Amino acid sequence: MLTSALARSLLDATLAHAQQMGLKPLSVVVLDAGGHPVAFLRQDGSSAGRFEVARGKAYGCVMLGIGGAAQNKRAEAQPYFVQAMNGIYDGRFVPVQGGVLIRDAAGTVLGAVGVTGDTSENDAACAVAAITAAGLVAEA
């Protein structure tokens, strides 16, 4: 289960990795297995609308059970896929890297981390590092 303590710990670890990598200011959200926010932080210098970007990256992971890279690949191949997903998920769908699915060792989805602010690859790398360091499985 994705406890409040685990969510905050994943959020802090994501930001710590970003600092080590010298990234730009980030916004990080942790969603539970139902797509509902458990923890969020927007760093100074991260622009006003970043909650929606971070949530949009993580939301599709949980709803579809796939990571941001797989969503992005699909979006590149079929642009109408993005439109269709935003229709059914009330506009909460941002199919780019930086949305990372969290699974336990048995493969059960616990939730997802959504990161935005630097390049999509760097955004994802921080979340992957945090999830892995917690002994969980990251699907970027």
64 binds its own copies (CB under 8 A): yes
Nearer to its own copies, 21 or 91 (CB): 91
DSSP states of 12-68: HHHHHHHHHHTPPP-EEEEEETTS-EEEEEE-TTS-TTHHHHHHHHHHHHHHHT--H
Count CA within 13 A, CB hemisphere, residue 71.
30
121 binds its own copies (CB under 8 A): no
Whose CA is closest to 31, among 118, 102, 128?
102
113 binds its own copies (CB under 8 A): no
Which position among 20, 21, 73, 76 is part of the footprint of its own copies (CB under 8 A)?
Answer: 76
Question: Dihedrals φ, ψ of 98, to 5°?
Answer: 120, -15
**By CB under 8 A, what part of segment 6-35 binds its own copies?**
7-8, 29, 32-35
- CA–CA gap between residue 88 and residue 36 (Å, rounded): 16
106 binds its own copies (CB under 8 A): no
- The residue range among 48-56, 123-131, 132-140 that interacts with its own copies, by the rule CB under 8 A, is 48-56
Interface positions with its own copies (CB under 8 A): 3-5, 7-8, 29, 32-44, 46-53, 55-56, 62-66, 75-76, 78-84, 86-96, 109
